[in-house]
A and B are shown apart, each in its own frame.
Chain A
Amino acid sequence: MKYKDYYGVMGVDRKASAEEIKNAYRKLARKYHPDVSKEKDAEEKFKELGEAYETLRDPEKRAAYDQLGSHRPGQEFRPPPGWERQFGDGSFSFDDIDLGDLFAGIAGGMHRAGRRGGKAPIPGEDYEVTAHISLEDAYRGTEVDLELEVPEYDGRGYPRRVRRAFKARIPKGATDGQRLRLPGKGGKGLNAGRDGDLYLNIALHPHRLFRVSGHDLFLDLPLAPWEAVLGTSVQVPTLAGSVRLKVPPGTRAGQQLRLAGRGLPKPHGGEGDLFAIVQIAVPTVTSERERALFKELAGASAFNPRGHFEQEAAK
C-alpha cells in the first residue's frame, strides 16, 4: 500500500484541531473547487483534498490514520501489527489497495476496514476529464482514448484500484466548453448502487486560422487596398475545403463577410457560420512604379478618411 500524507495535502500540523482542519479544507476547497478554480489540475487536487478531509474530519478514521505512522508520500508501507484487527475485521489484505479507498470503507463505528458497511446501495463515484481535440476533429467527430483509475469491489466489498482504458466517440457538433456524459464509465457502484458516470469537458486546441465562438468561426481576410475598393472574388479556406467568396466593391476593414453554414455543425442539426473579417493589408515593399501610381491616386482622390474629426472640431 502506498502512503499518502493527508496532513501535508491539507497543509496542517499533525496535531491540528478539528476546527483547524475544517478551516484548512475550506480555504483549499475555494482554491481548487472545480466549479470555481482556474487552476490547471483543479479536479485532481480537489479529489485529493476531499479524500484527505474525509479521513481527517472523522475522529475514528483520523485515529486509524495516525496509527499508520508517518512515511514519505508514495512510499510502500504496511500498517503496524494489529492495525487491521483494531480498525478492520482482520481478514484484510493490504496489497494492491488505495489508502483512500481503504478509509472510505471505514464507516463510523462499523470497524470494517475496506468493506463498505451495510447493504444500502452506494452509487459509484463520478469522474470528470477534459478532452483536448482539434477543430478539425470537432468538425468531423472523433474518438478519444481515455484512461482512468477507478475503485472496483470484489465479492466481499473490498476495493481495488483498476486502470481502465477505453475509446469514447465524440459525435460531430462539439465545441469549446461542451460537456458530454459517458454513462456508467465512472467508479463501480456497491450493493446494487448504480455505476458512476464519466463527464467529458471538450477543450479545442487553438487553430492557426480559425477562431471559435460557440459554433461560429472567425477568420481574418487580408485584402489589398485596391481589392477592397474595386471588389474581387477570393479563395477562402473553410473546414470543408476552400470556397470562393465575393468581396463587394467598397469593402471596409473590420467588415464581416458571412459564409452561411460554414461553421461547426450543431449537435442537433444546422451549422454555425463562418465570418471572414476584412483587414486591409498594406504592401511594405513598393516599386518605383507603384509609388508613382499611389502618388497619382493621392492627387486625384478627394477621399478624406478623417472628415469626422474636422466635423467634431467645427462644433
Chain B
Amino acid sequence: MKIEQAMWLHEEHELLLEELCELSGLSETELRELVDYGVLAPVDSDAQHWAFGADRLVVARSARRLREAFELDPHGVALVLTLLERVHDLEAELRDLRAKLPRRQQ
C-alpha cells in the first residue's frame, strides 16, 4: 500500500495568499478583511505577495465554516475567531499546568 506523506501545518511552512484562499475556501477579499481585523497576520505585511504560516490555514478554515454555518458577517467571524484563539491559549496553559502537577502523591 502506498504511504502518503502528511504535511505539517506549522508556522515554519508558508502558504501564499492565493494558496490560503484555495485551501480554506475563503475569497481574497475575506482573507484581507481578516487581516484588517487582526485575526490573521501575514509573515511580512509589507511584502508585495503576502505569505502566511501554514498553521493559519486552520484559522482560515474555521473562518469559512463559521461564516457558512451561522451566516456571520466578517466582524462576527473575527469576534468568534478571537475568542476561539483565547480559548485555545487558555487550554494550552491548562495543559501545561496539568503537565507540571505531580500525578502520584506519596
Contact = CB atoms under 8 A, between A and B. Distances in A.
Given A168-B3, A211-B99, A211-B103, A181 B9 contact: yes
Contact of B1 (A167, A179, A199): A167
A36 B72 CA distance: 15
Given A213-B100, A218-B100, 12 more contacts: A29-B70, A30-B70, A33-B69, A167-B1, A169-B3, A169-B4, A171-B5, A178-B10, A182-B7, A212-B99, A214-B92, A267-B12
A170 B4 CA distance: 9
Interface stretch (A11-19, A229-237, A241-249, A276-284): A276-284
A179 B9 contact: yes
Contact of A197 (B8, B23, B55, B106): B23
Nearest to A283: B106
Interface residues of B, number: 36
A123 B61 CA distance: 14
Contact of A180 (B8, B105, B106): B8
B95 interface: yes
B71 to A, nearest CB: 9
Interface residues of A, number: 50
Contacts, number: 108
6 contacts: A26-B70, A35-B66, A123-B22, A167-B3, A176-B95, A254-B102
A281 B106 contact: yes
B23 to A, nearest CB: 7
B65 interface: yes
B76 to A, nearest CB: 13
Contacts of B62: 35
Interface in A186-223: 194, 197, 199-200, 211-214, 216-218, 220, 222
A166 interface: yes
A179 B8 CA distance: 7
A185 interface: yes
Interface of A: 26, 29-30, 33-36, 50, 123, 126, 143, 165-171, 173, 176-183, 185, 194, 197, 199-200, 211-214, 216-218, 220, 222, 254, 256, 267-268, 275, 277, 279, 281-282
A218 B1 contact: no
Nearest to B65: A35
A36 B70 CA distance: 12
A277 B102 contact: yes
Contact of B96 (A126, A166, A214): A214
A216 B100 CA distance: 10
Nearest to A146: B4
A213 B6 contact: no
B18 to A, nearest CB: 13
Contacts of B98: 211
A155 B39 CA distance: 42
**A-B pairs with the 5 shortest C-beta distances?**
A180-B6, A211-B99, A213-B99, A213-B96, A179-B9
A220 B103 contact: yes
